[in-house]
């Protein structure tokens, strides 16, 4: 066998050995990391667009209406029914907005 062919075989063999690892990384990226990044972006956008009058659900399950948004310290005040109790929460404690379709059902 020529010397040039012997030198090329180990590098090609090592590249073929890395292909399954590269494929697994690509699968993890498209199935796990990319959707998580999209969800984080949507959540951050929702939190930045909160305004007075929005009905929200906190991470603890408290449902209330936003009464005031304090931009300086990233807190907001929500009013909780039935006694109209006002709670001050961190903006990041909000899990989601209650949509009109959810209110109807």
pLDDT per residue over 4-58, tens digit each?
A: 444 455 566 777 888 889 999 999 899 999 999 999 999 999 999 999 999 999 9
- Could you confirm whether domain 51-104 is CATH 2.30.30? yes
Integer Cα distance of 45 and 97 in angstroms: 12
Q: What is the pLDDT at residue 3?
A: 47
Integer Cα distance of 21 and 9 in angstroms: 20
pTM for this structure? 0.68
Cβ pair 50, 69 in contact under 8 A: yes
């Amino acid at each position: 066998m020529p010397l040039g062919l012997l030198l090329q075989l180990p590098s090609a063999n090592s590249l073929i050995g890395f292909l399954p690892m590269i494929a697994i990384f690509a699968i993890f990226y498209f199935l796990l990391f990319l959707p998580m990044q999209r969800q984080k972006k949507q959540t951050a956008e929702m939190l930045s667009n909160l305004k007075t009058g929005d009905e929200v659900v906190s991470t603890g399950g408290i449902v209330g209406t936003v009464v005031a948004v304090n931009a300086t310290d990233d807190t907001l005040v929500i009013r909780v029914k039935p006694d109209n109790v006002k709670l001050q929460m961190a903006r990041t404690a909000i899990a989601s907005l209650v949509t009109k379709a959810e209110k109807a059902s």
